[in-house]
Amino acid sequence: MNNQNAKLDVNTLESWLWEAACVIRGPIDAPKFKDYILPLIFLKRLSDVFEDDLQQLGNTAKYVDADHSLVRFYIPNNARWPNVAHQTTNLGEYLTDAVRAVARENPKLSGVIDVRDFNETAAGSRILGDDRLRALIQRLSQYRLGLKDVEPDILGRAYEYLLRKFAEGQGQSAGEFYTPREVAILMARILDPDPGDEIYDPACGSGGLLVKSFLRFREKYGETANVAPLRFYGQEINSTTFAMARMNAFIYDMEAEIAIGDTMNRPAFTNSDGSLRRFNKVTANPMWNQNFAITLYEHDTYGRFNNGIPPASTADWGWAQHMFASLNDRGKMAMVIDSGAMSRGSGNQGSNRERDIRKVFVERDWIEAVLLLPENLFYNTPAAGIILVINKMKRHPNEILFINASNELLKGRPKNYLSEENIKRIADVYLGWLETEGLSKVVKLDEAIRNDYNLSPSRYVSNNGKEEILPLDEAVVLLAEAEEDRQAVDTELKDVLSKLGLGIKPNE
């Protein structure tokens, strides 16, 4: 069966990948399926995009073979998918040579596409024999993966499925890096990149948010517009998704620098004096409610957490402050953040670290908009997320735009999604600074302050009349924070009692 002219929607993609995985089931463990399938999807994606470029040039393959500069990247003859698909002997060796040839011709892909040895052996036998590889290639030949055939982050979507289906038993979660396509499109419209912008994602995953910003820019200004190009920067801790981000940037010919590493502990983009590099626009969907030791914040040498130290139980405002510290003096950021980070601690007696950080950001008039998304959009949680927009050059000082888009969705299985109409409606409200009944409201800072810095959009915009109920995951975070505070107070009390000779010695 060949579906070269069919489009890959989500359900078709997942069925296709499932069938590909079934082809190699048996010889290798399920968590390693992606290690063989993804490099071949990389290769097919490159080959199909290269073929599209040749068609635009009038199928002048012989001229391109003689002058590689005619195309944005060059795929050697032996690595072009039709030749791969027709290979019948020594397939493991052939594939390994093909991906290495691509890396030699395109040094930016070194360490990205050529990491798998398809001829690999264990105990003297091939891990994946030629018969299985041939069946896998036939299965992957079913669909075209050119620029107009699939969504821009097809690599991220494929990895998300393979990880969710086969590798989550290893303690991984695809939701740690993958942002649903429509959420990424919405964030790109909110970010609204301008000519010459430098755009940074400190938790870039497969690069989806950066790619969507690039495509939004081209949509606004055209592919050949005589305007200053965008420059992109990203950092990712996971080696596989780092490779995908590099691949995505390469395919779209983006001027991008993607680094691998732990952003919170060791940010990659710094100046010669050790300070953080600063950008025009910053965007990210970091993992929600991460646990970082308090020492990470207390011993930070980059000046990132001057507005308050988050609790160890949730790093949401740690990420927000890293992103804010990465903005230049006229910069703007849009991030996906857990909805609980907008309200935890407000209205309660006593101090709360997240509420105290919100207090600083509200009173200094940095928060421009807070947008509540519908439930069940994200892959690792049914919870609704928030898009938080912070702007150092606010269009409307002393105001915050709250958007409650919880009803802007189409029901889906297993996940809900935003239609193009939903995306446009939400983006138009933000860009036009509009008040719309049941969707958005402009609130003066004084009102947010009176509400004890509660920035939950549902507090200001009601569209269903339901009473706010604290979700279980938010209650768990609050409980962990209370326990953390209790332990700190207990330690201080022991120290005082010890100095007075009335209690046990410290550290006992």
Tokens describing residue 355: 């509420």
Provide the token pair at 292. 């970082």
Nearest to 76 by CA among 43, 52, 111: 43
Helix, coil or strand: residue 394? coil
3 vs 246, residue with greater confidence: 246
pLDDT for 170 equals 45
Q: Place 505 in a pLDDT band, splitting at 50, 70 and 90.
A: low
Confidence of residue 251 (pLDDT cuts 50, 70, 90): very high
Phi, psi of 216 (to 5 degrees): -65, -40
pLDDT value, residue 1: 46
Q: Assign a CATH topology to domain 175-460.
A: Rossmann fold (3.40.50)
> Which pLDDT score is estimated for 365?
98
Mean of pLDDT values over 449-455: 97
Peptide bond into 311 cis (omega under 30): no
More confident call, 153 vs 201: 201
The confidence score (pLDDT) of residue 173 equals 47
Confidence band of 169 (pLDDT split at 50, 70, 90) = very low
On whether the CB atoms of residues 453 and 308 are closer than 8 A, the answer is no
Output the pLDDT for position 153. Answer: 86
Interstrand relation of 231-236 and 198-201 (parallel, antiparallel or unpaired): parallel
- The domains of the chain are located at 10-150, 175-460, 475-508
Q: Look at residue 382 in the predicted model and tell me its pLDDT.
A: 86
Least confident of 56-60, 205-209, 272-276, 430-434: 56-60
Residue 179 has pLDDT above 80, yes or no: yes
- pLDDT tens by residue, 54-113: 998 887 788 999 999 999 899 999 999 999 999 989 999 999 999 999 999 999 999 999
244 by Cβ neighbours in 10 Å (0-12 / 13-18 / 19+) ranks as buried
What are 121's strand-pairing partners?
126
How far apart CA 139 and CA 20 sit, in angstroms, is 6
Task: List b or e across 97-124, with b for residues whose CB sees 16 or more CB atoms inside 10 angstroms.
Answer: bbbbbbbeebeebeebbbbbebbeeeee
Instruction: For residues 412-421, give the mean pLDDT.
Output: 88
Q: Residue 476 pLDDT more than 80? A: no
Superfamily of domain 10-150: N6 adenine-specific DNA methyltransferase, N-terminal domain (1.20.1260.30)
Percent of the chain at pLDDT > 70 equals 90
Q: Specify the higher pLDDT residue, 487 or 431.
A: 431
Quote the mean pLDDT of the chain: 89
Q: What is the pLDDT of residues 374-393, one digit of tens each?
A: 999 987 788 899 999 999 99
- Separation CA 425–CA 405 (nearest Å): 10
Helical spans, DSSP H, in 113-253: 130-140, 154-162, 181-191, 208-221, 239-251
Q: Is the pLDDT of residue 416 over 80?
A: yes
pLDDT of residue 174: 42
Mean pLDDT along residues 253-259: 96
Who has greater pLDDT, 464 or 5? 464
Share of the chain above pLDDT 90, in %: 68
Q: In angstroms, rounded to a whole number, what is the distance separating the alpha carbons of residues 422 and 407?
A: 9
Rounded distance between C-alpha atoms, residue 147 and residue 144, angstroms: 9
